[in-house]
Structures are given as structure tokens and as C-alpha cells.
């Protein structure tokens, strides 16, 4: 039997390989963002670091235990902050009105939820260079969740994002456009942007609804590229990584206090661990705090999602 399997692998090397779904258009379905994830029906792929299309959903299954940033990152010493930034699944679906995301990580302690950043490159596979390369950094002298993510992260020119979404806490979020202007916010207040919804199931699984009208309209038969980064949150922004871990901050970064250029991101979607470690370690240690020229650059860790027409039957 072993000889037969080896012969088949030699004749058909794709046997056992995950299907590439980056150029497969799919049709979506409605999601109720309501603290229940049971309307997400798709079956995740068995193989880590692969994607599948199932029941009208794009599903990325991320590898376990690759939440090490540049390969050296560790979590804070306080037991309540010992995990929470290891991405497990990222799902996408849509209907005529909304784009829907589901982000699942390993479960943090108590209410110390992850900080999730999603860059949306609407130029997709066409490789356009419109949009922002620095993913909504914000003013380091202000440190307001309205002005940016403070994740100290940028993307290659061909991945420049027209929109950046940040999800913090269990119900809060922000969306910025290509110029860095805040265009939507969710704080569970009467002033919230209509239709922008965020709800968690159990601290580590959150679903998001974004009206297409906020982000340029519904695409049909078009690929988007999505950059998905996960860190820890601190005051609804990304929690700083320090050189040496302390009670409230992880270690393995560049500086002993806040304000460096090392990315405050533990995990990325879309690439193997070695690739994301290289990318998250590509910052320039000599750069001054807040200098975007010194930020780590993402060029391989992204997902390509091909939105089909909902006039077609579901995959």
C-alpha cells in the first residue's frame, strides 16, 4: 500500500494538497450579528494555513501556536494576558447589503480581548497601488482609538488598502478610509455608524457587519485582498510589545518602553510561520519612535477573496 501511495504522489503531486481558492468566485449569505455564530455554516479546511469555500463562506484556517510575531514575541507576565492573539479562523461572507467577517482566536483570560486589524485592498489581484500603506497608525502623541490602530504596521505598495478596520473589546470598532479619515465607529452608543455591527460570542470569536455603502459598494466577480493581523488591545488600540516582557506588556520587541517601530502584532493570516516572522521582523531598529519608514512591511501575508455574484447558486 505504501508503495502504491508513493507512486500516486509521484504521478500526481497535487494529491493531498489544499485547493487554491483565491481565484474561485463564491456567493455569500446573510449573517445576523447577534452574539451567536450558528448562522456561519461552512466547514473549515482540515489543513492548517489553507483556505476553503464552503456554504457560501470563505474560510481561512490558521496554524496553531504561530503567535510569536517576529519569532521572539512573548505574552505579558500577568496571567490574564497570557494568550488571546493566536488566530484560529477568519471567515468572510456577504449579501447585497453587507460584508461580514468572523474572527476566531484562542481564548484570552477574562475580558482581555484580542485587537484585530483588517486591511481591505479593493484593487485585489489587479495589483493597484491606491490606498494607504501604513495601516491607520494614528498620532503617537494622541493615542486615541479614533485616530488609528497604533499597531506600527504597513503593507507593500501593491497591497495598499482602501479601508482599514479595527475591532477591539467585545463590541467596539473603527473603520478608516485610504486617507486615514475615520468613516465609521462602533461603541454601542446612539451615535454609532448605522449598520456597522460588532458582536462577540465568547471573547475570542467576534463577527462583524460592514455596510457595502461605507466601503465603496458591493463588488461582483472581483477579488479583494485582505490583511488580517491580531495583537492584544489596550485602551481600544494595539498593546505595545516591549523588549523584555513585563506584567502588562509582551516581550521580544525593540524597546523597553512604548514608542518603538516594532509591530504590535502576534499573528497574521495568509502565510506560513517563517514568512510572517520575516515580515514582522522587517522593521528598522534604528528608526525613531513613530517613524513609519521604519515599520515592518507585509507583502506575502494576505488573503485573496473573490466575490462572485449572488445571482449564482451557492458553492
137-168, pLDDT tens digit by residue? 988 778 899 999 999 999 999 999 999 999 99
Phi, psi of 159 (to 5 degrees): -110, 10
Is the pLDDT confidence value at 3 over 70?
Answer: no
Retrieve residue 315's grid coordinates.
458553492
Characterize 99-131 residue by residue with b for buried, 16 or more Cβ atoms within 10 angstroms of its Cβ, and e for exposed: bbbbbbbbebeeebbbbbbbbbbbbbeeeeeeb
Note the pLDDT of residue 256: 55
Q: What is the rounded distance in angstroms from the CA atom of residue 21 to the CA atom of residue 298?
A: 21
Listed in order, strand segments (DSSP E) in the chain are 50-54, 57-61, 87-94, 98-105, 114-121, 153-155, 163-168, 172-177, 182-186, 197-200, 205-211, 222-234, 237-238, 267-268, 296-298, 303-307
β-strand pairing of 153-155 with 296-298: parallel
Task: Report whether 166 contacts 116 (CB < 8 A).
Answer: yes
pLDDT single digits (tens) 84-98:
999 999 999 999 999
The verdict on residue 148 lying in a domain is yes
Burial of residue 11, with CB atoms counted within 10 A of its CB: 0-12 exposed, 13-18 middle, 19 or more buried? exposed
Is the pLDDT confidence value at 112 over 90?
Answer: no
Is the pLDDT confidence value at 8 over 50?
Answer: no
Tell me the CA distances in angstroms from 95 to 122, 163, 217, 307, one per residue in order.
17, 19, 12, 10
* Partners of 101 in the β-ladder: 92, 208
Give the CATH number of the domain where residue 233 resides.
2.60.40.1190
Which range among 34-38, 99-103, 129-133 shows the weakest confidence by mean pLDDT? Answer: 129-133
The verdict on residue 223 lying in a domain is yes
Task: Report whether 200 contacts 113 (CB < 8 A).
Answer: yes
Burial of residue 270, with CB atoms counted within 10 A of its CB: 0-12 exposed, 13-18 middle, 19 or more buried? buried
Number of structural domains found in the chain: 1
The verdict on residue 207 lying in a domain is yes
The verdict on residue 315 lying in a domain is no
The verdict on residue 82 lying in a domain is yes
Give the Cβ contact number of residue 7 at 10 Å. Answer: 10
65 Cβ contact partners less than 8 Å away, ≥ 6 residues apart: 86
Task: Report whether 155 contacts 133 (CB < 8 A).
Answer: yes
pTM given for the model: 0.91
Retrieve residue 134's grid coordinates.
501604513
Q: What is the rounded distance in angstroms from the CA atom of residue 287 to the CA atom of residue 284?
A: 6
The verdict on residue 11 lying in a domain is no
Is the pLDDT confidence value at 39 over 90?
Answer: yes
Q: Decide: helix, strand or coil at residue 177.
A: strand
The verdict on residue 137 lying in a domain is yes
The verdict on residue 218 lying in a domain is yes
Domain that holds residue 79: 19-307
Note the pLDDT of residue 311: 56
58 Cβ contact partners less than 8 Å away, ≥ 6 residues apart: 21, 26, 51, 52, 91, 92, 93, 303, 305
Task: Report whether 303 contacts 269 (CB < 8 A).
Answer: yes
Q: What is the mean pLDDT of residues 221-241?
A: 95
Retrieve residue 255's grid coordinates.
524597546
Closest C-alpha to 58, from 22, 30, 104, 83 = 22
Amino acid at each position: 500500500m505504501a508503495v502504491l501511495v508513493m507512486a500516486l504522489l509521484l504521478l500526481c503531486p497535487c494529491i493531498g494538497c489544499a485547493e487554491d481558492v483565491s481565484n474561485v468566485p463564491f456567493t455569500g449569505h446573510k449573517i445576523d450579528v447577534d452574539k451567536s455564530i450558528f448562522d456561519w455554516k461552512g466547514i473549515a479546511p482540515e489543513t492548517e494555513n489553507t483556505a476553503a469555500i464552503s456554504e457560501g463562506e470563505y474560510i481561512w484556517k490558521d496554524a496553531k501556536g504561530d503567535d510569536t510575531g517576529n519569532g521572539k514575541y512573548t505574552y505579558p507576565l500577568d496571567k490574564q494576558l497570557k494568550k488571546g492573539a493566536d488566530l484560529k479562523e477568519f471567515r468572510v461572507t456577504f449579501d447585497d447589503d453587507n460584508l461580514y467577517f468572523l474572527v476566531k482566536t484562542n481564548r484570552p483570560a477574562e475580558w482581555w480581548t484580542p485587537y484585530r486589524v483588517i486591511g481591505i485592498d479593493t484593487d485585489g489581484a489587479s495589483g493597484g497601488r491606491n490606498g494607504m500603506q501604513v495601516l491607520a497608525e494614528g498620532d503617537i502623541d494622541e493615542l486615541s482609538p479614533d485616530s488609528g490602530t497604533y499597531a506600527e504596521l504597513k503593507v507593500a505598495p501593491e497591497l495598499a488598502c482602501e479601508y482599514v478596520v479595527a475591532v477591539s473589546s467585545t463590541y467596539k470598532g473603527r473603520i478608516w478610509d485610504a486617507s486615514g479619515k475615520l468613516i465609521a465607529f462602533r461603541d454601542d452608543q446612539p451615535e454609532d455608524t448605522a449598520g456597522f455591527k460588532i458582536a462577540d460570542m465568547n471573547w475570542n470569536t467576534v463577527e462583524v457587519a460592514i455596510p457595502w455603502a461605507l466601503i465603496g459598494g458591493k463588488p461582483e466577480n472581483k477579488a479583494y485582498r485582505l490583511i488580517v493581523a491580531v495583537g492584544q488591545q489596550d485602551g481600544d488600540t494595539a498593546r505595545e510589545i516591549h523588549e523584555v516582557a513585563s506584567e502588562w506588556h509582551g516581550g521580544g520587541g525593540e524597546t523597553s518602553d512604548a514608542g518603538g517601530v516594532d509591530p504590535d502584532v502576534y499573528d497574521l493570516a495568509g502565510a506560513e510561520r517563517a514568512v510572517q516572522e520575516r515580515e514582522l521582523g522587517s522593521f528598522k531598529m534604528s528608526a525613531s519612535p513613530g517613524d513609519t519608514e521604519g515599520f515592518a512591511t507585509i507583502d506575502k501575508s494576505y488573503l485573496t477573496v473573490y466575490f462572485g455574484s449572488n445571482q449564482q447558486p451557492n458553492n
